[in-house]
Amino acid sequence: MTWNAETIFADLKREILALVSPDNQPVVSVLLSIAPLLAVFPTLFALTTILERKGLGRIQNRYGPNRVGPFGLLQPVADGLKTLFKETVQPRAADRVVFFLAPVFLVLPALLAFSVIPYGKYMVPLEMDAALLFFFAVGAGTELAVFMAGWASRNKYSLLGAMRAVAQMISYEIPLILCTVPVIMLSGTLSPVEIVENQNRYTAAIAHWNVFTPWGAAGFILFLIAAAAEANRSPFDLPEGESEIIAGYYIEYSGFKFALFFLGEYLGLFAMCGLGITLFLGGWTAPFDFLTFIPSYVWFFLKLLALISLFIWVRGTMPRVRMDQLMNFAWKFMLPMAVINIVAAAAWKFTPILGFKWAVSGVIILAGYISLAQGLTRKAHFSKRTYRFAT
Amino acid sequence: MLGKGLLKGLRETARNFVGSYSDPERLTTVQYPEERLALKENTRNFPFLVFDGNDSTKGLRCVACKICEKECPPQCIYIVLERDEKGKPQKHPRVFDIDISVCMSCQICVEVCPFDAIKMDQVYELSRSDRFDGLLMRKPDLAKSNDYYHTIHPTEASEVDGRLAAEKAKAEAAKAKLAPPAAAPAPKSPDPAATAAKAAAPNTPAPSTNAPPQPAPATATAVIPPPAANISPSPERKADL
């Protein structure tokens, strides 16, 4: 048989499966799907830590880590070894079982979420009709893990951080899910594979990505904001605000458990980015039809790296928001904007001509954006306080 | 408009990001072990012992008067006076230790020293793998030449040299005047160093009776300033004390 760059991984899996007896094939097939996920994403996590530290350094006119290996590229190895050898300290008053389970429960949902994302044309670990529902259902498990960690540590700061995290994650989960609704509406399916297939069309060499429509662009931005809040990324990193509550819910964690928290957080971010790519950025499709010769999984990981870089860039730019700003933004802007976006998507669906579609949909979104932004940025007016009895 | 500030901020950080690669002037980091900032001349920490000439034991200015040992607030100095085989005190220390784990670089030893023998250094890479003996600086570690003093604190060192030369010239003149009558009683006089230490402790100018022994001691090398000249501090040093 011939090896094709596009299908190399699918072919490889088929070849290996052919070597196994038919009875064992389902188990081996599952393992063959899981193993790359477990290898690729923690590696990507290591890569992201060095990328993030370097990038943030450059944003602040510093070098960033440059001591371990050439250009400091082996820094993640040094970090990993350090955390592995560190002592795992457990508070005496901690709830032992829950304390132990919390980091595991944080990494698990992130890994489960990876199973439904299409990484390439023939590369979906788990094909499911309602995979989007599965993704969000599993993703909600993160909140449980965070609260377990905060509660089990028996530490006020941990509990404060966990409370903040749960409040923030639940508030932002609603706009997160609502801003994916237009995509589901217009592609008429909950399966990421079909959503990507729908975007795999080209008009005048340009792909039909959802982000190239008014509702898609708005939805993508809303999705990015909500994803940052879901993954506790700056500027929404209140649950772990270093300057206020030290490290939030994982104060009491050290050594490898701390590394697991770190890993879980980044894996959650990657999963969110993967979903964003699938829904809005055309998944594994190329942006122009003359670039389709590049294998699909390369496109997926290029987009993933681009989104991660965007999150790093935003982290280097934005200060942490206040709790009231966070909640105001979620309930007074994100949620209504997501609902308006659904209306805009419906208008897009039911208006006939392309120019007309753009006009109606764009006007709805712009009007919503301007009015909501005014409501959000309106200055509070304070009048001089008058007293009736005191002088 | 909502979001304008974010875009502005993103533009600024992008400019920093690109700029730090294209324009190395932006990077403020000094990569320490390879690059170092030049120290300011007035940088001072940890005392050292000054010696004149080339011999770090004979040229030592210290006369083991123990004033610094007594004045040291954290008591990190330990001095033992050198004695010859007959038990006669010599005018230099046998042991001079400074425990740099205790020293707080307060410079009081420098201020009280009437002999300009102890001065502040500019060393800062003093980490050791052994926290006991490694951090105890002994006499050979502490003794550093006057040339080194000139390289680290040129202004101060020339001022000290000028003062010492002037005092020496004054003592020479006094010696020339007093030499003929003082020749006889000199050997019988009490140990000059002990007298000097006793006289220096209450910080009073030496009585003129101390002057006669000066020319006598053969052990004292020429570079050690005559105690009589040193015990009477110069006006500005008196103000310091």
Q: How far apart are the first and last CA of chain A?
A: 95
The residues near B114 (Cβ < 8 Å, ≥ 6 apart) are B65, B67, B200, B230, B231, B233, B237
Residue linked to tokens 């969000």: A136
Chain B partners within 8 Å of A61 (Cβ)? 16, 19-20, 26-28
Give the pLDDT band of residue B231 (cuts 50, 70, 90). very low
Output the CA angle A278-A284-A285, nearest 5 degrees. Answer: 105
For residue A306, the model assigns a pLDDT of 93
* A377: CB partners within 8 A, 6+ apart: B2
Spatial contact of A201 and A207, defined as CB atoms under 8 Å apart: yes
Tell whether the model's pLDDT for residue B238 goes beyond 60. Answer: no
**How far does the CA of residue A271 sit from the closest CA of chain B (Å)?**
24
Per DSSP, A116 falls in state: T
Indicate which of B8, B11, B17, B25 best probes the interface with A, i.e. most A CBs within 10 Å of its own CB: B17
- Residue B90 phi/psi, 5-degree rounding, is -100, 165
CA atoms of A104 and B88, how far apart (whole Å): 78
Task: Judge whether residue B217 has pLDDT over 60.
Answer: no
CB contact under 8 Å between B13 and A59, yes or no, is yes
In the predicted model, is pLDDT for residue B183 greater than 70? no
Residues 185-224 of B with CB under 8 A from A: none
**Beta carbons of B99 and B135 less than 8 angstroms apart:** yes
C-alpha radius of gyration, chain A, whole number: 23
Residue A205 near residue A289 (C-beta atoms within 8 A): yes
Q: How high is the pLDDT of residue B132?
A: 85
pLDDT tens, position by position, B139-156: 888 999 999 999 999 999
φ and ψ at A108, to 5 degrees?
-55, -55
Predicted TM-score (pTM) of the model is 0.75
pLDDT attached to residue A276: 93
| Cβ distance of B21 and A58 shorter than 8 Å | yes
Residue A285 has what pLDDT? 87
- What is d(CA B62, CA A12) in angstroms, rounded to the nearest whole number? 82
Q: Which are the contacts of A14, defined by CB distance < 8 A and separation ≥ 6? A: none
- Span A163-204, pLDDT tens digits: 888 888 889 999 999 999 999 999 888 999 989 888 888 888
pLDDT tier for residue B181 given thresholds of 50, 70 and 90: low
Flag whether pLDDT at B228 surpasses 50: no
pLDDT at B186: 47
Closest chain A residue to B27, measured at CA: A61
Cα–Cα distance measured from residue A231 to residue A221, given in angstroms and rounded to the nearest whole number: 15
Bridging pattern class, strands B89-99 and B136-137: antiparallel
Mean pLDDT of the B82-92 span: 88
Which residues on A lie below 8 Å from B10 (Cβ)?
Answer: 313-314, 317
Of A7-16, A158-167, B10-19, B113-122, the poorest mean pLDDT is in A7-16
% of chain A residues with pLDDT over 90 = 22
Average pLDDT of chain A to the nearest whole number: 87
* Segment 89-118 of chain B within 8 Å of chain A by CB: none
% of chain A at pLDDT higher than 70: 99
- B212 has pLDDT over 70: no
B81 φ/ψ angles, rounded to the nearest 5 degrees? -75, 140
The secondary structure of residue A385, as a DSSP letter, is P
List Cβ<8 Å contacts ≥24 apart for B120-129.
B120/B44, B120/B45, B120/B46, B120/B47, B120/B48, B120/B153, B121/B44, B121/B45, B121/B46, B121/B47, B121/B48, B121/B152, B122/B39, B122/B43, B122/B44, B122/B45, B122/B152, B122/B153, B123/B45, B123/B46, B124/B45, B126/B46, B126/B100
Q: What is the pLDDT, as a whole number, of residue A1?
A: 56
d(CA A233, CA A231): 5
Local confidence band at A15 (pLDDT 50, 70, 90 cut-offs):
confident
Give me chain B's average pLDDT, please: 78
For the segment A343-360, the average pLDDT, to the nearest whole number, is 88
Minimal CA–CA distance to A42: which of A87, A80, A99, A81? A80
Report pLDDT digits (tens) over B95-134. Answer: 999 998 999 999 999 999 998 899 999 888 888 898 888 8
By the CB < 8 Å criterion, does B32 face chain A? no
> Cβ A318–B28 below 8 Å, yes or no?
no
Whether residue B54 lies within 8 A of chain A, CB to CB, comes out as: no
Greater pLDDT, A6 or A15: A15
What is the β-pairing status of strands B45-51 and B143-145?
parallel
Q: State mean pLDDT over A281-304.
A: 87
* Residue found by looking up tokens 């980015």 in the block: A273
- The residue of A61, A234, A332 whose CB has the most chain B CBs within 10 angstroms, and thus the best one to mutate to test that interface, is A61
* Residue linked to tokens 């004979």: B58
Q: Which helix (H) or strand (E) holds B96?
A: strand B89-99
pLDDT band at B197 (very low <50, low <70, confident <90, very high): very low
B2, B3, B20 ranked by CB distance to A58: nearest: B20
Full DSSP string of B153-210: SHHHHHHHHHHHHHHHHHHHHHHHHHHHHHTTTGGGSPPHHHHHHHHHTTT-PPPGGG
Q: What's residue B180's pLDDT?
A: 62
pLDDT at res. B222: 43
Q: How far is A363 from chain B (nearest CA, A)?
A: 16
Average pLDDT of the residues in A67-94: 86
State whether residue A314 sits within 8 Å of chain B by CB: yes
Q: What is the pLDDT of residue B220?
A: 40
